[in-house]
Structure 1
Amino acid sequence: MPVVDIPGSKSITARALFLAAAADGVTTLRRPLRSDDTEGFAEGLAALGHRVGRTPDAWQVDGCPQGPPAREADVYCRDGATTARFLPTLAAAGHGTYRFDASPQMRRRPMLPLTRALRDLGVDLRHERAEGHHPLTVRAAGVEGGEVVLDAGQSSQYLTALLLLGPLTRKGLRIRVTDLVSVPYVEITIAMMRAFGVEVVRETVLGEDVFAVPPGGYRATSYAVEPDASTASYFFAAAAVTPGGEVTVPGLGEGALQGDLAFVDVLRRMGAEVSVRPDGTTVRGTGSLRGLTVNMRDISDTMPTLAAIAPFASGPVRIEDVANTRVKECDRLDACAENLRRLGADVRTGPDWIEIHPGASAAAGAEIKSYGDHRIVMSFAVAGLRVPGISFDDPGCVRKTFPGFHEAFAAVRAGLPG
């Protein structure tokens, strides 16, 4: 029975780096994810003047509650959406001029709802080229705080960025949210802020979510990063599509912060056997996968994983309410549809849905088009358990979140039946 040591959560590592940089004192992060995204975030903090000490198992970050220590910085955010959205927000709490840019892929990804909200709070933020996209410059003089309205229907990261900023403002923040996607990621943020000494109050007012964040700053701490649930989905799916296959992920079980662990409930509905325990989660393939219709709005990062195994179900798989996946590293709905058709599957898509019918008949040698998206590559690696000869045009893009993915997946594959 393969036991898979999944690297630390990307989402938790990014939030922890922000919180550590904003806290009063030195924070130790244990088992952080070391990948292109998180290394880029750490380098960005260093450019902003924070000390980030790194050992193989832990990072130490010197916090500065008054905002970045540097008064001037040029920060390159690479491909990281959390880096590109969180660090300009952190910089707004400081005093200085901070310029941010990102890769061509990240430049295409939107952030206008966040930058509008920051401007509404009095932040001098200017986009150099396309409005709502990198590159941008923040001329910071601290943030007074107050009430702001935010549309987080494209990405919950916009709300997370403002929540994280709240304790660094002079008056605190009251955020009225008109639309919100990926709610579990916001719950991760609120739980982590609590661990750093800040309590967020959430209420519903006239049908809208309102988040109240007090001023006062964060408290440094020692924080352990749990395994990445989105990454675990590929290994759980590998077990589900393999009759008699079984995969266990230790350290990711009852009480996990990440909502993406709910992906195993989808696999259970399809017919896999699932055991979620305090010390880990196990998925076992029964030899049968049923079709289903599922709303994945709150766990949309696992949509490609389900799409990749859908052709092997006994009935159609319809995934709904995932419009936000069209503005990720690529348009993931179209990317999944294109690659499933390369495998011979019958696929239909709409603005926020994809429907996949049983059957995959690709000849050996089908090449998966990655679109530079790590999740497309890792998802279709699972399809490769049932379709021979799958290859990728850019297998190395997995370095964004899991540089050792191909080696880890090959090891699991070798331990599965058949």
Structure 2
Amino acid sequence: MKLKISPKDKLQGKIKVPGDKSISHRAVMLGSLAEGKTEIEGFLTGEDCLSTVKAFQDLGVKIEGVGTENMLVHGVGLHGLKEADNVLDLGNSGTTTRLMLGILSGQDFYTVVTGDDSLRTRPMDRVTVPLSKMGGSFYGRDGANLLPISVLGGSDLKGITYNSPVASAQVKSSLLLAGLYAEGETEVIEPAKSRDHTERMLEYFGADIEVDGLKVKVEANPKLTAKKIVVPGDISSAAFLMVAAMITENSEIIIENVGVNPTRDGVIEALRKMNGNFELLNKREVNGEPIADIKVKNSQLKGTIIDGDLIPLLIDEIPILAVAASQADGKTIIKDAKELRVKETDRIDAMVKELTRLGIEVQEREDGMEIIGKQEIKGGVVCQSYHDHRIAMSLAVAGLISEDDIEIENSDCINISFPNFKKILDRL
């Protein structure tokens, strides 16, 4: 599908973004492993999260309301999953895959997991190596680094202390979930703080978990009790609309009920550094997650440096921050973001190529990019999405202020995280 975006004079209105992707994944996972019925409100119905739902259905969990924002998960308890009668196809979802490998390593049955063309190129040894140290058994291409991967259950997992070489919520979460099935304590130590939705939700469901700075420790074999989960709006999705309002003249929008978890709000800090004109209103907390409404106005952005410990807190927002940087006065440097090269696509390479196609001066770095602002965005071109939802939406936002229309190839990938993205843009 090709998406056509035309320049706009202003964006105005009050809207909501889809539910948080990370929290939606984890709500289904922990709801399935809990005892009782977990009600989920505001679930993200994007393709990635539906891959998680389908996986747990294949493992014997009854889930009502699939395809809607309100679902009911009939938990089977920590040891109630059943062997699937076919391969688990996890689509494009790296989160589902890496977290599922942790859960599956503790089961007493055999499972094979695979995914689409993109997912089968993404590295899994970042979780299979430490999970193997706990006693997990994995077999697959490139030494169980690439899908398809077989998980041979029945192993007696043992808790370990793992010093993670990367600040990754997926790695941390995979080990913590495996730790629920391991003998003794499982501890993960990170070089920098990554998003902490798993820790918050494990505690909310009744797990014995301890957080001490960069260390997270979980005890084995807890009794997880079903809870109601209200999923806040996804800050990663909100970021596209925040930047859209900041760079489009005469704009003022309010994005309601957005999750502002301090391990996810790096984009807020980065946009503050860039002189973004916005404020957080009506701050509150729901099921352990902080939420706020975000009021955003057209802004006179300034170039800045985005690096270091801030990077893990905004890794998914870097493509849209690159678009913001093109409209900021001065140079913006993004570095320490090599992790972007192993996302759905090589996002550094993809953004450099497409920004260049749009006439923006940008220099590629091994671990990021340098962007000179403020620049005119030329239109009348066809851009590539690389089948990456965040690349596609970033280019769409650029199209709002381009000289002419922009077309984006293979834009249906946006459905992975933001199915109604174009409708919301049109409404604004």
TM > 0.5: yes
Q: CA deviation at 1:378?
A: 0.7
| Residue in structure 1 matching 2:416, options 397, 400, 412 | 400
**Alignment RMSD (CA, Å):** 2.0
SS in 2 for 1:219: coil
State the TM-score, normalized to the length of structure 1. Answer: 0.90
Instruction: Give distance in 1, aligned partners of 2:248 and 2:378.
Output: 20
Letter in 1 for 2:175: L
| Structure with more contact order per residue of length (Cα contacts < 8 Å, sep ≥ 6) | 2
Which stretches in structure 1 are left out of the alignment for 5+ residues? 413-418
Q: How does 1:8-407 map to 2 (within 5 A)?
A: 8-54=19-65, 56-63=68-75, 64-70=77-83, 72-128=85-141, 131-141=144-154, 143-153=156-166, 155-177=168-190, 179-180=191-192, 183-185=193-195, 187-203=196-212, 209-215=214-220, 216-252=222-258, 256-257=260-261, 259-277=263-281, 278=283, 279-286=292-299, 288-295=300-307, 296-297=310-311, 298-361=313-376, 363-387=378-402, 388-407=404-423
Q: CA deviation at 1:143?
A: 4.2
User: Does 1:6 pair with 2:41?
Assistant: no
Q: Alpha-carbon deviations, 1:308-337, whole Å to 9, x = none? A: 122211111111221111110011111111
SS in 2 for 1:266: helix
Letter in 2 for 1:263: V
* Residue 9 (structure 2) aligns with: none
Instruction: Give distance in 1, aligned partners of 2:392 and 2:17.
Output: 17
- List, as ranges, runs of 4+ consecutive aligned residues in structure 1 with deviation greater than 6 Å: none
User: CA 1:402–1:91 in structure 2 vs 1: closer, same or farther (change >3 Å)?
Assistant: same
Q: CA deviation at 1:404?
A: 1.5
Q: Alpha-carbon deviations, 1:170-189, whole Å to 9, x = none? A: 43423344x45xx341x222
Instruction: Give distance in 1, aligned partners of 2:122 and 2:338.
Output: 14
Q: What is the count of residue pairs matched by the alignment?
A: 401
Letter in 2 for 1:221: K
Contact 1:144 1:171 survives alignment (8 Å): no
Instruction: Give distance in 2, aligned partners of 1:252 and 1:97.
Output: 39
Percent identity over the alignment?
Answer: 25
Q: Alpha-carbon deviations, 1:67-113, whole Å to 9, x = none? A: 52236542001000111111222122221111111111001111102
Q: CA deviation at 1:150?
A: 4.7
Letter in 2 for 1:292: T
Higher mean C-alpha deviation, range 195-204 or range 215-224: 195-204
Instruction: Give distance in 1, aligned partners of 2:14 and 2:280.
Output: 14
SS in 1 for 2:152: strand
Instruction: Give distance in 2, aligned partners of 1:46 and 1:152.
Output: 33
SS in 1 for 2:39: strand
Instruction: Give distance in 2, aligned partners of 1:81 and 1:67.
Output: 24
* Residue 415 (structure 1) aligns with: none
Contact 2:358 2:379 survives alignment (8 Å): no
Q: Alpha-carbon deviations, 1:188-241, whole Å to 9, x = none? A: 22111111112422346xxxx432201224221111111110000010001111
Q: Alpha-carbon deviations, 1:88-139, whole Å to 9, x = none? A: 2212222111111111100111110210111111112111456411101111
